[in-house]
Amino acid sequence: MGDHCLKSVATTISASIRRPADSCARYGGEEFAVVLPNTNEEGAFLLAETMKRAVADLNISHKNSSFGHVTISIGVATDIANID
């Protein structure tokens, strides 16, 4: 079931990104990294909320979760490259 869950979450996160330069990759066991070039903090937070809702909407049962289903937590970091 774990592999199925990871694949479903990965597919859902990947489907949330739309621009050609955006990318999603598995980073470690259960972690994913999403890179969104030219995205400000507000845009990153909006997309993060979209991803959280989309994964929750999968309603994948998780008996050890206080929510009863699989959820994700997301951290956001932004940076503007200083090219001199």
Pairing between β-strand 23-26 and β-strand 32-35 as defined by DSSP bridges: antiparallel
In tens digits, the chain (84 residues) has pLDDT values of 788 999 999 999 999 999 999 999 998 888 999 999 989 999 999 999 999 999 999 999 888 888 889 999 999 998 877 777
Stated pTM of the model: 0.85
List, as one string, the DSSP characters of 20-73.
Answer: TT-EEEE-SSS-EEEE-TT--HHHHHHHHHHHHHHHHHH--B-TTSTTSB----
Largest CA distance in the chain: 52
The Cβ-side half-sphere exposure at 71, using a 13 Å CA radius, reads 10
* Confidence at residue 59, expressed as pLDDT on a 0 to 100 scale: 93
Measured distance CA(43)–CA(60) in Å, rounded: 27
The answer to whether 48 and 41 are in contact (CB under 8 A) is no
